[in-house]
Structure 1
């Protein structure tokens, strides 16, 4: 059994209600959908899908490979997808990822901006037969098939819809692993699913995810041999880890962006002038110095809202707002009316080793403003608790945020997080001009045209600054002498199924 560091997820392992990396690790292990992504290149790879075809980039026919089953023996059918997507989309089910289905016809009826739904299923989804279903989008979306490897689009068995609460206690999936035992907030043990039909065949006899609330405790267990894989390495040990582990250390670039998000729905952040304040805060952050002194060179200063390696990435779209400039920072903050209430706090999850860089960001802001009380860190116990506050719209000031690539398209970074009603729009940002650019980008014919429109959309983000780009993150992990074939994918996740012990 491979023992891996883990943390407390916000919600149980329902695809539509999973957001954080801890939950995603389990969902990706127990469920497999239409596509997956090559862990080295991020290229889409057909899994349960036999074909995804279209003649107009708006109406799609999806055919499944036959004979796939869930771990309870029930078949994976077209209805397994259609029912799961309808469940996630329906507003009354309160699924955090509902917005990902916004481009399917009928979404406005099942998830209206206000009031009760007038339908319970998406009109754009139709089951043709047991292995075929069709999807009608509200507009042309040329790259939509490439998004379908995202776990949000995974199927669910009939048993889920009979009793979702019971399924959450004993999840059933069609992925490479099945859940053997689950102790909330402590541990989840996975064992290989013998009936798995996909490409990600487990090379081990299971994964034991152990929850840690302190990265230092996980690192101590790694050094002592009680832990096999640790991708939560404490910042203070990054200079020592390669020596401590005799080279059993991974540090590779990934398409991930660390961000500082703002609650635009909260008092002081909901005014027109607050955009200048946010731009000034961004310019008050000395990214290169923090990366060098605190993050030990494992990050790269961010200059846009996507990441290197993503189609559409164009360095410098943030412009001068992502460049350290104390004089201009003070001018912008003053022009915007000053920090709301005279000071800010940056909320972060204390179980993720974030305190050193949050303190460094605040120190940078304080030095620029000449006020040691202008910015302070605000620890929240666990990531799950932080996410509960974020999704409930209870934030009053900036908060730690990040985005890991789901698939290598600018759309992944720029639509869910920033479009009005986007599935991951935690800042509450709304700009109709931005929404229009995203719609036009998705409908564009050809990647080059799509990328150009997304780059225009990023310039609007620079003007409004709902979220500050901080740095592009590397994938870092250490592993014990008891395991081999350990690798990190481009999504900052260990490739668990490939690990041998």
Structure 2
């Protein structure tokens, strides 16, 4: 073939391909982002974006197993001292070197972030001090034996001391302080609209294929699907389950599904003697809070048909559960099964608790955060109605819901949690343990649940070095909490993505959409 023919063929291949290595890839992102300050809010959409700009000492692969990140190795020197050896020759986006000083600063910054609706202190409270041994060695002294420190360090992003020493959350949102070591640099952030990222060609790790990434905030399912079909975006996450079969038959699209770690559950107000959104059947406020009675919590759980939610609401895209974790992760218990629906048993429990005619409640939740969230709320309401519990549903945008929910404003609410640390201490510490600011426990315990037995098992687990023994303790803590109905668990989401032809993404069990893993012009 002559040179002219080669040139013509090359031009044809570029024109026929939907992507080139330097082209912008646009993602239809199904959730809003509340901030680009990586320490502001333990909120998966925020972390998803932050993971492109910032790194952690330890990263997690798509199976949530820990792998070296900014730290090449880590070891316990004694029961309360961990040493991390840092990766050499890593630079921040502004060219300054990443050192142990930045690690110490990042840990110290976490509790100082103002106005956080979900603080990262959950993962730093056990650290008593941080010692810079040399530029590439850092040591953490913990208050007590804390074998899960590496898991915690797989959650907390590292920021630049020089760029962020006096920075506010607003400075990160503007881009001024959003200087990380990650595969992409922040170009632009428009709250509620879009995040634009440019490839960091000096990145220490594997170079991403896409030169530019745009995450368009598209919380409306129909709009997100329409944008994919038109080619306005090349990837969407949180594929609406009602559209999954239709989209999977389109030759121009590829569909991906992965069983996820995202747990959907109901908070029940168990901390107050009188709860604001409960009333009798005549609409009068209840003088006592029925949710403090285990029999009432059991009745609510028995009334919920999780398999019907899977089949009729989620269209198969959920795994009904009776516990916090999915199989294969630490803290999963074989003893905990999915609770079968039992309307008659639920009614009897209510009567035994002194509510033979039931009562009324308002069920709060989001309408733009989780897969089919508002439909799940409606389904749960109908199921509770069958046992005499009248339910009014109030669904709202996540930006409105979470600040209120995290303050404990509601009586019953639905939320979701994905364990960043890959084991059961994450949900146990965050929304089941008795709130304790000194220990960083219960930071998201909106229901005010408290059980000393759960707390004791959790504390013992967090101080147990042996992995198998710790796993057993986490199982036991989970079993006590689930049998006590600390929360009412519903299901784990099945994560769904769709991509245009020519772009491949394997998906992740933690539901994150990582542009640096996109394969362009993939078969």
Q: Structure 2-normalised TM-score? A: 0.84
Identify the match of residue 402 of structure 2 among 387, 399, 407. 387
Alignment of 1:94-493 (within 5 A): 94=116, 96-105=119-128, 124-150=129-155, 152-164=156-168, 165-170=170-175, 171-199=178-206, 201-244=207-250, 248-266=254-272, 267-268=274-275, 273-317=292-336, 322-338=339-355, 342-352=359-369, 353-369=372-388, 374-380=390-396, 382-394=397-409, 396-421=410-435, 422=441, 423-481=443-501, 483-493=502-512
Deviation string 1:288-328 (CA, Å, 9 cap, x unpaired) is 111111111111110212222212311442x57x2211122
CA shift, 1:45, in A, is 0.9
Specify the structure having the higher radius of gyration (Cα): 2
Question: After alignment, is 128-137 or 183-192 more displaced?
Answer: 128-137
* Distance of aligned partners of 1:92 and 1:500 in 2 relative to their CA distance in 1, 3 Å threshold: closer
| 2:323 and 2:478 in contact (8 A); partners too | yes
| 1:245 and 1:479 in contact (8 A); partners too | no
CA distance in 2, matches of 1:182, 1:91: 20
Structure 1 SS opposite 2:301: helix
Deviation string 1:476-499 (CA, Å, 9 cap, x unpaired) is 111112x42212112112232121
CA distance in 2, matches of 1:338, 1:13: 47
CA distance in 2, matches of 1:293, 1:27: 35
Does 2:110 align with 1:88? Answer: yes
Counterpart of 1:110?
A: none
CA distance in 2, matches of 1:344, 1:272: 10
CA distance in 1, matches of 2:255, 2:247: 7
Counterpart of 1:76?
A: 98
Structure 2 SS opposite 1:252: strand
* Distance of aligned partners of 1:412 and 1:34 in 2 relative to their CA distance in 1, 3 Å threshold: same
CA distance in 2, matches of 1:426, 1:72: 40
CA distance in 1, matches of 2:450, 2:363: 22
CA shift, 1:261, in A, is 1.7
CA distance in 2, matches of 1:283, 1:339: 16
CA distance in 1, matches of 2:454, 2:158: 29
* Distance of aligned partners of 1:10 and 1:219 in 2 relative to their CA distance in 1, 3 Å threshold: closer
- Number of residues paired by the alignment? 472
* Distance of aligned partners of 1:75 and 1:35 in 2 relative to their CA distance in 1, 3 Å threshold: same
RMSD: 2.4
Deviation string 1:86-141 (CA, Å, 9 cap, x unpaired) is 12124867562223212122xxxxxxxxxxxxxxxxxx222222222211112222
* Distance of aligned partners of 1:337 and 1:32 in 2 relative to their CA distance in 1, 3 Å threshold: farther
CA distance in 2, matches of 1:271, 1:366: 16
Does 2:34 align with 1:15? Answer: no
CA shift, 1:169, in A, is 1.4
| 1:223 and 1:245 in contact (8 A); partners too | no
CA distance in 2, matches of 1:407, 1:99: 11
Tell me, which stretches of 5 or more residues in structure 2 are unaligned?
1-23, 279-288, 436-440
CA distance in 2, matches of 1:149, 1:212: 28
| 1:212 and 1:218 in contact (8 A); partners too | yes
CA distance in 2, matches of 1:217, 1:311: 38
CA distance in 1, matches of 2:491, 2:185: 36
CA distance in 2, matches of 1:236, 1:273: 37
* Distance of aligned partners of 1:460 and 1:494 in 2 relative to their CA distance in 1, 3 Å threshold: same
CA shift, 1:417, in A, is 2.4
Counterpart of 2:3?
A: none
| 1:277 and 1:334 in contact (8 A); partners too | no
CA distance in 2, matches of 1:347, 1:339: 24
* Distance of aligned partners of 1:239 and 1:14 in 2 relative to their CA distance in 1, 3 Å threshold: same
